[in-house]
Amino acid sequence: MNDRNRPVTRSGDDVYLHLLKAITDQRLLPGTKLTEFSLVETFGIARRGVAAALTRLAWEKLVTILPNRGAFVAAPNAEEARDIFLARSAIEAGTIEAIARRADPLAIAAMEQNVAEEAACRKSGKTRDAIRLSGGFHLVIAQHSGSPILAEQVRLLVARTSLVIGLFENESGLSCWHDHHLELVDHCRHGRVEAAVAEMKAHIEELQASVALDRRRPTSFDLSEVFAQ
């Protein structure tokens, strides 16, 4: 990697955001070793900034730091994966309720835009962009819920869900998740609060059911390719 294709990085916060986005987009797979030397080379930043980013990600349970072994992208086990989905169901029932109760036109417009962009990506075969937008749909809801605390929790849970989906076999693809999103938009537009909450819970349950928690995927990566522009 050189200055022409190195991601723009000015601080440890930028390293954190690049790593978070790569995890959420499933470009960095669970179990990937994140050596400080490789990250310094990849981002062209001092080790202090890299260490700060890794510490923050570890606190958020997106990275695991093992004594004498280094940092690795977190690899949730099946029990942790179930807890992640359970937490999402509880929290996102609240965020969608807030949108549907107000039938907030700004929130609904943002949701519709996300759905349209995801559909366009799926149609053109841009799978990774579609995955990013699929998770982003839930972030849009959380960001318009009126609770910054819930929005932050959803952001982290969506990233951790990406780890689960990247680690275990997923048999359903993206189509059914996208269909749930359309139905959620419709419920919110018409103020159907109970239907929106039930739809969100069913959506999270279906997402969990689509992941085979007894089958792990093999993982491999090239750090320089992950972040090359």
What pLDDT does residue 178 have?
A: 62
What pLDDT does residue 41 have?
A: 86
**Domain range enclosing 165:** 78-216
User: C-alpha angle 134/73/228, rounded to 5°?
Assistant: 70
In a domain, 227, yes or no: no
Closest CA to 226 of 5, 10, 3: 5
What pLDDT does residue 1 have?
A: 47
Strand partners of residue 211: 170
**What is the full per-residue pLDDT of the chain (229 aa) written as tens digits?**
445 555 667 677 888 988 998 888 878 888 889 988 888 888 888 889 889 999 999 999 999 998 888 899 998 888 999 999 999 999 999 999 999 999 989 999 999 999 999 989 888 988 778 878 888 999 999 999 999 999 999 999 999 998 888 787 665 554 455 678 999 999 999 999 999 999 999 999 988 888 887 776 655 444 444 444 4
E strand or H helix that includes residue 39: helix 36-43
Domain finish residue from 50, 75, 100: 75
In this structure, the answer to whether residues 30 and 140 fall within a common structural domain is no
In this structure, the answer to whether residues 83 and 183 fall within a common structural domain is yes
Q: Which residues contact 152 (CB under 8 A, 6 or more apart)?
A: none
In this structure, the answer to whether residues 96 and 40 fall within a common structural domain is no
- The Cα–Cα gap between 215 and 3 comes to 39
In a domain, 224, yes or no: no
Give the DSSP letter of residue 190. Answer: T
AA letter at 123: K
Report residue 38 as tokens: 């490789």
In this structure, the answer to whether residues 57 and 20 fall within a common structural domain is yes
Task: Report whether 63 contacts 50 (CB < 8 A).
Answer: no
What pLDDT does residue 218 have?
A: 56
The domain that contains 22 carries what CATH number?
A: 1.10.10.10
What pLDDT does residue 171 have?
A: 59
Give the three-state DSSP class for 214: strand
The domain that contains 150 carries what CATH number?
A: 1.20.120.530
What pLDDT does residue 64 have?
A: 92
SS percent in the chain: helix, strand, coil, step 5: 65, 10, 25
- The Cα–Cα gap between 62 and 34 comes to 12
Per the structure, the count of domains in the chain is: 2
